[in-house]
Structure 1
Amino acid sequence: MGFKDENSTAGQSEAKGTRLLDMQPKLSMALFGLALGLSFWLYWDGLAEAVLRWQLQEEYSHGYIIPLVSLYILWERRFQIAAGYQSFSWWGLPIIVLALAILLVGEISALYMLIHYSFILLLLGLSIAFLGSATRHTWVPIALLGFAVPLPYFIEVILTSNLQLISSQLGVEIIRLCRIPVFLSGNIIDLGNYQLQVVEACSGLRYLFPLMSLGFIGAYLYQGSLWKKVILFLSTVPITIFMNSLRIAITGLLVDNWGTEMAEGFLHDFEGWLIFMACGGLMLFLVLLMELFTTRQSIRQAFAVPVSVSADQYAGGGMTSLKCPLPVVVAIPMLLAALIGLMSIESREETATLERINLATFPLQLDEWTGQDDSIDTEVADKLGFSEYVMINYHNPEQRPINFYVAYYASQRKGVSPHSPKVCIPGGGWEIANFQRTTVDQIPVNRVLIRKGLQDQIVYYWFEERGVPIANEYIKKWMLFKDALFLNRTDGSLIRVTTPVLPDESVMDADQRAKAFIRSSRNQLLQLLPAKSLEGTQ
């Protein structure tokens, strides 16, 4: 019978405990890595769509750089993060739950923007769950990712339209200061011998989004008071508008002197780069002005990044004491459940399909109206993204014209939906003289009186959302979410009726003609578009 060495047993227990302590940080990092991996898998389609928008739209081409800048900031702050770590936090869990709920709403309502912001919110929740109070060093690079999120198309169209008009008006005023006669009609600048159209690409969004990102990064790095940081960031909007207007004015002056080739090709693109560099220069000039009247720091001092914790000071502390992040452990099965639920949603085929309609069969003879088919340019049609459309020019026996247009979308998931004429009308040089919501035989419609010079037109439009006519765009979005959830349908249409106010008639005459056509076409239209209930439809 032998004797047990108590000192040896104690030493073994202590060594085992030490090994467990050494393994704990590695286990914690592995759990966090697993949660991150599941998050990227869960949001993969949404992230892929964002990258596609970065590739296809120059307004978001800066999106490739934003994640790299965020990673760089995190790397630069790694010692502060480690030194500031104390423990995990359960407050991250409700943020994760909220992010997953927003993801569900985004998937069902077909709004990619919700999916993208849900991902950023999820990253913030995971950071709080894993790092606790040390998240004060990570929230800025996480928030920076928001500047890489592409806007929904309907918001982008509204911004583009408004910025086009503002930039055109300011650009024309600058041209007039140079004593050059110029006339502005909507977004068309008439210089007499030449006409310039301020298209979507010249709206200023290509400057605004990258410049706001740069302003946010600059405000974060700026070693100044909070009010200085806010001013620097907010200044990006007026700087963008002014400099874009200046670019339009310079283009107008060059065209007036040397022809329309000055508004095309390499020179036009190079001019855009110069203007963007000038925008950055104006931001630096603003910092110099603020410092001149306050603390008198140089640019180098204003943007010097202080290192509060060095590698030597950090050695032996901080993240080496990582505790098992229990909130992350709880979040992992939640992410798995969300992934399974998302797969089931995406695998569902929508009830309404394109085969149920054929707009090409819409009759050319409609009561007293005789029509002729018209078409939309292929490039424009691709941008609008509809599944099917019909455009017909009708005339009555008195040769009074009506333009009838219907765009049908078999699915409005993932942000593909009709563009509201209210925001598209000004781009053609028309101004909205009057806008109101009314009804025609109990059908809710939008009535718009538009004007270009001395020419007036009456436009009626509304949306047919799964058999329900809707005029209000925001109610339309709510119904889209509700029907996607309960009916598994997101099909919908835009209907537009346009007629000019002819010289020998009043606005009321044209208005009555448009209403009469709506009444005549309504029944034929309802026979082609999917109804509220699809039971028995083939």
Structure 2
Amino acid sequence: MNAPASAIDVRQPVRLAGLFWLACATAGAAVFFLPGIDSLVEAWVQPEYSHGPLIPIVSAFLLLRQLKTVPAAPVGWTDRLPGLALLVVALLLAVFGRVIQISDFVAYAMILWVGAMLLIGFGWSRGHALWPPVFHLVYMLPLPGALYYGVSTWLQGVSSELGVFFLRLMDVPVYLDGNIIDLGVYKLEVAEACSGLRYLFPILSFSYIFAVLYRGPIWHKAVLLIAAAPLSVLMNSVRIAIAGVVVDRYGLAHVEGITHFLEGWVIFVTCVALLFGLARVLLFFRSDRPRLVDALDLETDGIWTQFLRLGRAPAMVLPAVVMLALAASVTVLPERVPAPIARDSFATFPRGLGAWRMQSDSRLDPGIERVLRADDYMVRLYEAPASDAWVELFAAWYVDQSRGGTHSPEVCLPAGGWEIASLRQIDAPGADGMFTLNRALIQKGLERMLVYYWYDQQGLRTASSFRSRFILTLAKLKTGRSDGALVRLTTPIRVGETEADAEARLQALLKSADGPLAQALPGE
């Protein structure tokens, strides 16, 4: 992953003009990529990404160290063409992100821009070897909302299963219901904050740095990288198990303190120590059997000298001029503001839908509301007069999905202990004809339910989350809007009923609710 430091002579005159043009290019980039920078700063406030501000600093350190292995020699313009091509790609991606107002794309483009500047400065023949510090910048990026929620929910499930496994090994009576560990006198919820993501991301970054600095075979580096995620998940499960043991042996009074004590740096430091131990074990497979400190390239001499090499006057002029011009253009051009969205609030949604009458209008738990982050939502139970079977109508609407959006029931249902027995797409009747939605049969023990759900992107309904995001992107380009919604209908399959009975109930309410939903979920 990195070449060992060598005694390459990199002494050359300091090019102050080159550093000046590099500073100009960087200043222009800071203005042009500002939406991406803002999104990173906003993400770094969250505990899961609090390590983010350190990533650029560490990447810069890795870069300056590795520059010692790059010889100082003239570079022709033809060798810089790949860098110019990458610069064009980075700028186009950033422009696309600015136009559709998805700042994550602008943040991704920044990393490509850094790589492009190195290839322009050092040429492809020498600059392409500098990819490790550039790639490390990926660890400062937040996961896209849907991916984050999916990974978090999956890790909650894994942590719950492993935590219960460890508790049973220690003869602690326990029952697992979704992500709730039932200890009898106390129910320990493996919430989103307990998923382990706040340990996983910094540990993955550390393992990458460790692999870069490690002087050994490629397969050693691969083992160190691959081991980071399992170690993080394992230690998080151990933390959950310890909390369960404390409740079982010492009561509820001690669980809060031990849980907080085992959060954060305790888990991180333990995982780091385990990585060092793994590296020490790997050294036994080497014939020379070096000490661990000798197997790590920790040389820091000549960092300032390497920094001065970044200024290549002729190479930096063009990127500097381009970035300053783009910075000026985005400063002068007016910001695109979408037109106000006219819609009916869910609070005005009819209490009666044809023959159906509302039985309850409830609110979600505050913790679930924080995860959902919907701008408007409703959770209502409707019953038909001739039946005591109910149908739950849930709808969540987001004014700006670029800052968080719909969560697929495929992800959140298992967190509640429900197993998806079957999932397929069907055509169902709406007020204006047939449309495609998802049909899921879920079960928990002997309980069974039938679920319909779909995504509504400004009047266009789809069962596919990927097509939903494609529609959203087109809408951003066309109108600048990024609003959308998720709609879900749920009904139980009672004793003596068939799936067809429950399906008829869902379709009956769907026909009655489709018209009012169109008023609450605005189209184009």
Measured against the shorter chain, the TM-score band is 0.7 to 0.9
Q: CA deviation at 1:505?
A: 2.6
State the match for 2:389 in structure 1.
400
Q: Verify the 8 A CA contact 2:25 2:323 in the aligned structure 1.
A: yes
State the match for 2:261 in structure 1.
270
Q: Verify the 8 A CA contact 2:35 2:103 in the aligned structure 1.
A: no
3-state SS, counterpart of residue 52 of structure 2:
helix
Q: Verify the 8 A CA contact 2:342 2:522 in the aligned structure 1.
A: no
Q: Structure 2: which amino acid aligns with 1:260?
A: L
In 1, Cα distance between equivalents of 2:468 and 2:244: 40
State the match for 2:378 in structure 1.
390
Query: Once the two structures are aligned, what percentage of the paired residues are identical?
Result: 33
In 2, Cα distance between equivalents of 1:79 and 1:191: 57
In 1, Cα distance between equivalents of 2:460 and 2:427: 14
Are 1:60 and 2:49 an aligned pair?
yes
**Distance change in 2, residues 1:110/1:258 (3 Å):** farther
State the match for 1:425 in structure 2.
413
3-state SS, counterpart of residue 151 of structure 2:
helix
Are 1:92 and 2:79 an aligned pair?
no
**Distance change in 2, residues 1:465/1:206 (3 Å):** same
Q: Structure 2: which amino acid aligns with 1:204?
A: G
State the match for 1:31 in structure 2.
21
Q: Verify the 8 A CA contact 2:343 2:519 in the aligned structure 1.
A: no
Q: CA deviation at 1:149?
A: 0.7
State the match for 1:300 in structure 2.
293
RMSD: 2.8
The superposition leaves residues 437-477 of structure 1 with CA deviations (integer Å, 9 ceiling, x where unpaired) of: 21212221111222222222222111111111111001111
State the match for 2:127 in structure 1.
135
| Between 246-255 and 33-42, the greater mean CA deviation after superposition | 246-255
- Residue of structure 2 aligned with 1:289, choices 278, 281, 286: 281
**Distance change in 2, residues 1:99/1:434 (3 Å):** same
State the match for 2:463 in structure 1.
471
- Residue of structure 2 aligned with 1:194, choices 181, 186, 201: 186
State the match for 1:7 in structure 2.
none
**Distance change in 2, residues 1:343/1:511 (3 Å):** farther
Q: CA deviation at 1:259?
A: 2.5
Q: CA deviation at 1:80?
A: 4.9
The superposition leaves residues 109-147 of structure 1 with CA deviations (integer Å, 9 ceiling, x where unpaired) of: 554433222111101101211232553574322221211
Q: CA deviation at 1:430?
A: 2.1
State the match for 1:122 in structure 2.
113
Normalised to the residue count of structure 1, the TM-score between the two structures is 0.86
State the match for 1:522 in structure 2.
514
Larger Rg: 1
Q: Verify the 8 A CA contact 1:204 1:244 in the aligned structure 2.
A: yes
In 1, Cα distance between equivalents of 2:158 and 2:424: 23
In the alignment of these two chains, the number of paired residues is 501
Whichever structure has more helix as a proportion of its residues is: 1
Q: Structure 1: which amino acid aligns with 2:118?
A: S
State the match for 1:106 in structure 2.
97
Q: Structure 1: which amino acid aligns with 2:415?
A: G
Are 1:46 and 2:36 an aligned pair?
yes
State the match for 1:438 in structure 2.
426
Q: Structure 2: which amino acid aligns with 1:39?
A: A
3-state SS, counterpart of residue 176 of structure 1:
helix
State the match for 1:361 in structure 2.
348
3-state SS, counterpart of residue 131 of structure 1:
helix
In 2, Cα distance between equivalents of 1:451 and 1:345: 54
**Distance change in 2, residues 1:430/1:342 (3 Å):** farther
In 1, Cα distance between equivalents of 2:333 and 2:450: 42
State the match for 2:172 in structure 1.
180
3-state SS, counterpart of residue 456 of structure 2:
strand
**Distance change in 2, residues 1:319/1:154 (3 Å):** closer
Are 1:410 and 2:410 an aligned pair?
no
Q: CA deviation at 1:428?
A: 2.0
- Stretches of structure 2 that go unaligned for 5 or more consecutive residues are 1-11
**Distance change in 2, residues 1:98/1:263 (3 Å):** farther
State the match for 1:238 in structure 2.
230
Normalised to the residue count of structure 2, the TM-score between the two structures is 0.88
Are 1:73 and 2:62 an aligned pair?
yes
- Stretches of structure 1 that go unaligned for 5 or more consecutive residues are 1-20, 533-538
**Distance change in 2, residues 1:374/1:337 (3 Å):** farther
| Between 277-286 and 426-435, the greater mean CA deviation after superposition | 426-435
In 2, Cα distance between equivalents of 1:411 and 1:304: 46
**Distance change in 2, residues 1:434/1:522 (3 Å):** same
State the match for 2:155 in structure 1.
163
In 2, Cα distance between equivalents of 1:31 and 1:45: 23
In 1, Cα distance between equivalents of 2:457 and 2:132: 41
Q: Verify the 8 A CA contact 1:354 1:387 in the aligned structure 2.
A: no
Q: CA deviation at 1:230?
A: 1.3
